[in-house]
Structure 1
Amino acid sequence: MIRTPLRPLARILRARETGENPDAIEAENRAQRHAAIQERARGSARTRLFFMSCAFALAFGTVGAKMGVLAASQPSEPRVQTSGAQIISQRADITDRHGRVLATNLLTHSLYAHPQQMVEPERAARELVRIFPDLKLERMLKDFTGKRTFVWIKKKISPEQMQAVHDIGEPGLLFGPREMRLYPNGHIAAHVLGGATFGKEDVASAEVVGVAGVEKAFDQWLRDPANDGAPLTLSLDLTVQAAMEEVLSNGMKVMNAKGATGVLMEVKTGEIVAMASLPDFDPNDRPRPLLKGDPSDSPLFNRAVQGQYELGSTFKIFPVAQAIDLGLIGPATMINTQSPMRIGKYLINDFHNYGGKLSVADIIAKSSNVGTVRIAQLLGPERQRDFLESLGLFEPTPIEMSEGPTGKPLVPQRWPAVTSATVAFGHGLAASPLHLAAAYATIANDGNRVRPTLVHGRSMRAGEPVLSPSAAHTAMQLLRKVVTHGTARQANVEGYEVAGKTGTADKPRPTGGYYKDKNVTTFASAFPVSAPQYVLVVTLDEPSVGLAGGGESRTAGTTVAPVAGELIRRVAPLLGLRPTTETQLPMVERPLPDRLRLVSN
């Protein structure tokens, strides 16, 4: 750069000629030089400030844009990270149909030890045994003073227990956070829920997995992070479930029964509103399964689903309804009920002597074995077998429980005349109370097949027709007469139009034959009969009730019927049913061919 001199010679000489001061020229040039220097400095500063402003604007703009994108986006990235974790600890809640919690998660802690870090292992062992009485002192001392570097002490502890361990002051005792499964209602709906335990686990977390019931059946769904924490909504009603369990428990005590079970189902949807099996258990402290003996002796045994019982006279409505549908009989048709009846080398008797003839309506009301067998003979073994199969009595129910597939009915491989006869009055074919509830719901549903479900609001395909609506209606009227004038009068609850059938069946011996003093009593019902909404099945295992005049009774009419009546009286208002004044609906009577009239007579 060429700089302008402060005292240019030409100007100095000219100034001297004109008498000007040369120093003024120097001052002027110096001022111009300083002004030029300052102008260049200001330009450079402006350039630096411009570029710095652009850099800051770009940086803050990038951060702001990223924050805006994160705020407006769905939190998909955290779900992906969670699903890829080695141990998935989050598990969805289970609720009843009204959103009340049946199973949820609780944050708790595990307790473990690093013996090599302990200062006073003997004292720590004694203090732990004092806090946890189920621990063995000898085992603790061996683990803490040996060569082990890690010892599990408790997989889950309460806050109070955690504080007590803290107070020991032992650095080798450590805690790990984890979730545990909590059932806030204790025993209520224990068999439906099943229970859960820990799968994969480490000191910082544990995987909760289902071991039975809906917890196991829906295990993958409950652990799936893609469900975004949505609860599994069951069809159960917690209030109705609690009432059922209370009534059944009291009924067991009064009737001196070994066990009891109940199933309450919606007729149209097949949704199970309540299902109980007693004795039960607390899923928060699930007992160990039996390794030998009768499985039904364990409180884990679900009698409603797994129990396979000969359900006695509750089956009698099936051949009668089928024969009515085929036009073979009507409610007023007279049937030969002369007892005993011989089939091959076997004799079939009635509990009472009903004389030579009964109408079809009285055969159901009085529960005549002989009359029911006569009607089954009109059907023939093949048609009878096909009808029972169409009711779902030959296959496990599609219930959403891990025990569902194990509840396969015990069906005779051969179906000769004697089998057809005994099955007609509920012997020789063993099914669960849930099977019976679904079959009765099919009749109550205008003859359309009903399949039970435990999921609320699930879209179910329409059931295929099994009976005509008129035959189903007539069958319901026959069952209503059982309650008003027959063997189930103790189940008649005024205002709720209960229709049902009692059934008493001797229990089979494991070695063959039947016990003479042990039986299973069942009452299967639907209400209100004018527009059936609910089906209820109650079963008592080995009941016995004392009679006023001495002795004891084991029949369904005196044992299970009053228990079922009390249960309907308790739950009907909870279901929103109002007592009504009953109007007797007429039965549908079909004309019969003369040939069949002769056969039936």
Structure 2
Amino acid sequence: MIRTPLRPLARILHARAQGENPDAIEAENRRARHEVMRDRSRARAEGRILLLGLGFIVAYAAIGAQMMKIAATEPEEPRSASSGAEILAGRADITDRNGRILATNMLTHALYAQPKDLVDPARTAQMLAEIFPDLKAEDLQRRFTDGRSFLWIKKVISPEQMQQVHEIGDPGLLFGPREMRLYPNGALASHILGGASFGAEGVSSAEVIGTAGIEKALDARLRDPAQAGAPLELSIDLTVQATIEEVLDSGIKMMNAKGGAAVLLDVKTGEIIAMASLPDFDPNDRPQPLVKGDPADSPLFNRAVQGVYELGSTYKIFTAAQGMELGLVNPETMVDADAPMIWGKFKIKEFDNHNYGPLLSVTDVIVKSSNVGVAHIAMMIGGTRQQAFLRALGLLSPSPVELVEAAGAKPLVPARWPEIVTITASYGHGLSSSPLNLAAAYATIANGGITVTPTLLKHPTPVEGARVLRPEVAKNSVSMLRQVVTRGTASFAEVPGYAVAGKTGTADKPKPTGGYYHDKVINTFASMFPANDPKYVLTVTLDEPVETSGPEPRRTAGWTAVPVAAEIIRRVAPLVGLRPQVDAGAANGLTAVSVTE
């Protein structure tokens, strides 16, 4: 840079020639130079201030944007770094066949503590014990001061409890978001749904897993992120389920029973429209399983699936149907019914020592529920063919229904199948199965002879199974069952407008130590309606019922299970869209006459 001299020679000489002071020229040049330097310094300073201002504006904008982002998101605790897989908390809803919610999710919070950050552990422990009565202040204070750095206090808390904890104001108490399973209908359909609990847990989320019922059986489907938005549709109808549970509960109380089960099954599709087991439980607060004693004493026990019982005379129609299928008998064939029947050292007797013989038609064997008559039909069939037929009906295998408990409910089948087993199996003694298995077997007769697979998933189209009976044999079997109601052991099953067909079964309850009780029974009524074109099968089973309205206690199915089933059909048939059939008659009882002048 070329600097201008402060005392230029030419000007100095000229100033002296004019008699002027040359120092003024130097002072003027110095002032001009300083002004240029000040202007340059000012320009540099202004540029720096402008850049600094722009920097502040950008920083404030970034901070403001981040604050807006934080304000727009849900609050959550900081997530610690982890090399493990992310916890998947989403779980699909469960609905009934009409889309009504059976199980869903609810956002709640868990409460945990970081003891090192607690301001006053003793006060905090005391106040938490007041909010949560199941916690003890002494235990909390001990755990707050034993040196640990993390402590779960409650895995699930309500919004009201969360607010009360907030009011304690201790920074060592923290909340973690939780998605918990909610069953809005309480105990309704509890054995079907089962329940859920927490699996893997972190402070920011928890995995919800099924613990029983369909929640566990279809756990992978319900937890699949790809299907989280699609509810799992069950085959049950919530209204029908509630009605059956209500009637069954009243029937159990009226018949002084220990418990009971009921299954309503669509005979074409195998869909379970309702399945009840009582006593039941609330899956929102699932009780602990029994660790000793009879599992059936627990409300968790599903009598419709896990209850493996001798189902008594309900099996007799299977023997008659197989005999007709093989061409050995027809509905009018006369068979030996002379009681008692002696087979080796065994004596086959009728109920209450009746003798319906010497001969009965096959139809009357079913109507009168003759053990001897059906035993003679079974001897014509033979044990090998009998066993194969019962297996084809699904009575010798666990039910394939979508419940985790079903696989363990194996029917009790004799290891050997001698002729005496052939005889006793013909009338439902000596082998055991579940009420659901029985319902599926009766559906095979009701739908014309095609096996069905019971399911809890909605699929309204018929599923083709194997044919085990000719249509005419199935029709004759239904006719026999209808006569059991009109003139046999199930007369209390008559429901005006709905022709009911069915078979009673009364079986002595086995003792744990062997043998049978003489005053404890398992009563079953397996039915189908309407009999002229069966749409549904209903089985009702009561554990240790006794009807006490008369002078002597009555324990047969005709007095206990049948009236309960009749009331269920009367209430449920309109709900499933069946119109009552009324015999046509005179409109008003008047006779029209013509009048002439």
Normalised to the residue count of structure 2, the TM-score between the two structures is 0.82
The Cα offsets for residues 375-425 of structure 1, whole Å up to 9 and x where unpaired, read as 111111111111111111111111011112112211111111110111100
- Give the structure 2 partner of residue 49 of structure 1: none
Q: In 2, are the aligned partners of 1:181 and 1:196 still within 8 Å (CA)? A: yes
Mapping for residues 181-580 of structure 1, pairs under 5 Å: 181-351=181-351, 352-457=354-459, 461-548=463-550, 550-580=551-581
Q: In 1, are the aligned partners of 2:360 and 2:373 still within 8 Å (CA)? A: yes
Aligned to 1:447, what secondary structure does the other structure show? Answer: coil
Q: In 1, are the aligned partners of 2:525 and 2:561 still within 8 Å (CA)? A: yes
Tell me the distance in 1 between the aligned counterparts of 2:575 and 2:192.
20
- Give the structure 1 partner of residue 31 of structure 2: none
Number of equivalences: 499
Aligned to 1:215, what secondary structure does the other structure show? Answer: helix
- Give the structure 1 partner of residue 77 of structure 2: none
Tell me the distance in 1 between the aligned counterparts of 2:340 and 2:319.
20
Aligned to 1:420, what secondary structure does the other structure show? Answer: helix
Q: In 2, are the aligned partners of 1:337 and 1:358 still within 8 Å (CA)? A: yes
Q: How far apart are 1:150 and its partner, in Å? A: 1.1
Aligned to 1:318, what secondary structure does the other structure show? Answer: helix
Letter in 2 for 1:174: L
Tell me the distance in 2 between the aligned counterparts of 1:148 and 1:553.
65
The Cα offsets for residues 123-166 of structure 1, whole Å up to 9 and x where unpaired, read as 21121111111112321121122212111111111111111111
Q: How far apart are 1:356 and its partner, in Å? A: 1.8
Q: In 1, are the aligned partners of 2:452 and 2:463 still within 8 Å (CA)? A: no
Letter in 2 for 1:448: I
Q: In 1, are the aligned partners of 2:267 and 2:535 still within 8 Å (CA)? A: yes
Aligned to 1:102, what secondary structure does the other structure show? Answer: strand
Q: In 1, are the aligned partners of 2:183 and 2:284 still within 8 Å (CA)? A: yes
Aligned to 1:573, what secondary structure does the other structure show? Answer: coil
Aligned to 2:109, what secondary structure does the other structure show? Answer: strand
* Runs of 4+ residues deviating >4 angstroms: 458-461
Aligned to 1:497, what secondary structure does the other structure show? Answer: coil
Q: How far apart are 1:271 and its partner, in Å? A: 0.3
The Cα offsets for residues 213-259 of structure 1, whole Å up to 9 and x where unpaired, read as 11011111111111251000000000000001111111111111111
Q: In 2, are the aligned partners of 1:488 and 1:500 still within 8 Å (CA)? A: yes
Q: In 2, are the aligned partners of 1:201 and 1:207 still within 8 Å (CA)? A: yes
Distance 1:444 1:582, change over 3 A: farther
Tell me the distance in 2 between the aligned counterparts of 1:125 and 1:421.
70
Q: How far apart are 1:484 and its partner, in Å? A: 1.1
Q: In 1, are the aligned partners of 2:498 and 2:529 still within 8 Å (CA)? A: yes
Tell me the distance in 1 between the aligned counterparts of 2:535 and 2:357.
37
Tell me the distance in 1 between the aligned counterparts of 2:461 and 2:330.
36
Tell me the distance in 2 between the aligned counterparts of 1:436 and 1:582.
32
Aligned to 1:122, what secondary structure does the other structure show? Answer: helix
- Give the structure 1 partner of residue 593 of structure 2: none
Tell me the distance in 1 between the aligned counterparts of 2:195 and 2:216.
8
Aligned to 1:452, what secondary structure does the other structure show? Answer: coil
> RMSD in angstroms over aligned alpha carbons?
1.3
Q: In 2, are the aligned partners of 1:343 and 1:417 still within 8 Å (CA)? A: no
Mapping for residues 44-193 of structure 1, pairs under 5 Å: 86-193=86-193
Tell me the distance in 2 between the aligned counterparts of 1:494 and 1:485.
15
Tell me the distance in 2 between the aligned counterparts of 1:486 and 1:247.
24
Aligned to 1:546, what secondary structure does the other structure show? Answer: coil
Tell me the distance in 2 between the aligned counterparts of 1:390 and 1:430.
16
What percentage of residue pairs aligned between the two structures are identical?
63
The Cα offsets for residues 248-304 of structure 1, whole Å up to 9 and x where unpaired, read as 111111111111001000000000000011111000001111111111111111111
Aligned to 2:178, what secondary structure does the other structure show? Answer: strand
Deviates more, 1:513-522 or 1:449-458: 449-458
Distance 1:358 1:111, change over 3 A: same
Q: In 2, are the aligned partners of 1:105 and 1:180 still within 8 Å (CA)? A: yes
Tell me the distance in 2 between the aligned counterparts of 1:436 and 1:136.
51
Aligned to 1:495, what secondary structure does the other structure show? Answer: coil
Normalised to the residue count of structure 1, the TM-score between the two structures is 0.82
- Give the structure 2 partner of residue 47 of structure 1: none
Q: How far apart are 1:581 and its partner, in Å? A: 3.3
User: Which ranges in structure 1 are unaligned for 5 or more consecutive residues?
Assistant: 1-83, 584-601
Tell me the distance in 2 between the aligned counterparts of 1:331 and 1:494.
26
Q: How far apart are 1:461 and its partner, in Å? A: 4.4
User: Which ranges in structure 2 are unaligned for 5 or more consecutive residues?
Assistant: 1-83, 585-597
- Give the structure 2 partner of residue 28 of structure 1: none
Tell me the distance in 2 between the aligned counterparts of 1:371 and 1:461.
35
Aligned to 2:439, what secondary structure does the other structure show? Answer: helix
Letter in 1 for 2:201: E
Q: In 2, are the aligned partners of 1:497 and 1:582 still within 8 Å (CA)? A: no
Q: In 1, are the aligned partners of 2:269 and 2:463 still within 8 Å (CA)? A: no
Q: How far apart are 1:459 and its partner, in Å? A: 6.6
Tell me the distance in 2 between the aligned counterparts of 1:168 and 1:314.
64
